[in-house]
Amino acid sequence: MTDQISPRTLIEAHLPFAGEVDLALIYATANELGIEDQPVRLALRRLISAGELEQRGRGRAGVVELTESGRARLDIDRIAVRLAFAQDAGQAPWDGFWRLLGISAPESHRAIRDAFRRDIVSLGAAPFSTGLYVTPHDLTAFLPAGAGPYLVTAASGDLTMRGVTDPQEIVESLWPAQPTLAAYAELDRALVALPAGLSPVARQLRLADALELALRDDPLIPSELRPDPWRPAGTRRRWLDLWDAARGHDGAELIYRGWLPE
């Protein structure tokens, strides 16, 4: 967990998936955390230039709202967070099928091919063979626009990789546990080191920042395909207890609305 929350994280934490948010609220929270107005303004400009935010009005009197592309990007992150906690609660069991995905696009459409490869890896799929990726999740809804006509997919309950058929062994080969375990060990340390005396919003922002770092190294493989017990699940439960302890105080519902299961 970093000592300083980034202005971008601060802004995104306040953005509802539908509707707008007052910039006065964002600036007030930033100032409470020791972040000056100028870094917040720069982060806002970058998000607006990237086409992810729209702003109406100026300064603290203005409001910002997610664009369609900004909403789509954040929605992937939100789905990942909700999937993690659904897996911990036994509400997202593996359906027993592996998904194989590839793309066959001509050189003239290389940008589509490159976007597919970039996005499929960021979504947690692993290279399986030349030009072919595998995942235990159905990711087709999250693939880049325009990939559909060139997409090759298959689903199978049986998968063999270099003579290995056991699903847990395949997972350990393609998505080794150690990087994920190390990421959650760091989250454990961050939870212990959480400063006392923080306001509810500041506390939740620091918790969210620490969880986001752990999730970067977590492909969210279904629980059935990991060792039991799976230590990251326990860490997330401890994280959720701390998050819930701040919920209900003034401002606790102003950030990351709709990100966690009710």
* pLDDT for 141: 86
Q: Centre a 10 Å sphere on the Cβ of residue 224 and count the other Cβ atoms it contains.
A: 14
The tens digit of pLDDT for each residue in 42-80 reads 999 999 999 999 999 999 999 999 999 999 889 989 999
Which class for 146: exposed (0-12), middle (13-18), buried (19 or more C-beta within 10 A)? Answer: middle
* pLDDT for 109: 86
The tens digit of pLDDT for each residue in 198-231 reads 888 888 899 999 999 999 999 999 999 999 999 9
Q: Quick check: helix, strand or coil at residue 76?
A: helix
* pLDDT for 249: 52
* pLDDT for 251: 44
95, HSE (Cβ side, Cα atoms, 13 Å): 9
How many independent structural domains does the chain possess?
A: 1
Asked if residue 150 belongs to a domain, the reply is: yes
* pLDDT for 152: 93
DSSP tag of 196: T
* pLDDT for 208: 92
Query: Tokens in use for 187?
Result: 């989250």
Asked if residue 7 belongs to a domain, the reply is: no
* pLDDT for 17: 86
Q: Quick check: helix, strand or coil at residue 100?
A: strand
72 within 8 A of 81, measured Cβ to Cβ: no
Asked if residue 141 belongs to a domain, the reply is: yes
Asked if residue 102 belongs to a domain, the reply is: yes
Evaluate the CA torsion angle 261, 240, 177, 214 in order and state its sign: positive
Asked if residue 115 belongs to a domain, the reply is: yes
Q: Residue 120: give the domain boundaries.
A: 98-156
Asked if residue 188 belongs to a domain, the reply is: no
Residues of the chain with pLDDT under 70: 1-3, 248-254, 262
* pLDDT for 200: 85
